[in-house]
Amino acid sequence: MEPLPESFRRRLAETEQQDPLHQVRELLSEFADAESFEEVEARFRQLATVTTLGIVTDLRALETVLSGPIEPGLPTRLVAWDANWVLDEANDENSLEFLRKVADMLRAVLASVENP
């Protein structure tokens, strides 16, 4: 296997150093113009046929945010503003459930590539 080009390694290092919350916000922007959760999942499945690097990085950032202390109101803002997603009842509990569903979806996409 060939070593990664320097430009790619540099970009990878920059991505690894990004603030996890910032990265989660970028990830959630994928939902902003989607008609359904399944549409976003299909986009990630298509991306995974080319590369999984971004998906792995997004999943790590989301898991980091979900595992740490989360300020009240943040989950609701992430879902409502960054994902532009309307929940039946917009509150932190339901928003955390949505974010966990996103993490589960990313794990499933990665698993499908690893075990076709």
- pLDDT band at residue 1, thresholds of 50, 70 and 90? very low
pLDDT of residue 87: 96
Q: Taking 90 as the threshold, does the pLDDT of residue 103 lie above it?
A: yes
Confidence at residue 65, expressed as pLDDT on a 0 to 100 scale: 97
pLDDT tens digit sequence for 48-97: 999 999 999 999 999 999 999 999 999 999 999 999 999 999 999 999 99
pTM (predicted TM-score): 0.84
112, pLDDT greater than 80: yes
Give the count of beta carbons closer than 10 Å to the beta carbon of residue 65.
Answer: 21
The pLDDT assigned to 6 comes to: 77
pLDDT tens, position by position, 6-44: 776 676 666 666 799 999 999 999 999 999 999 999 999
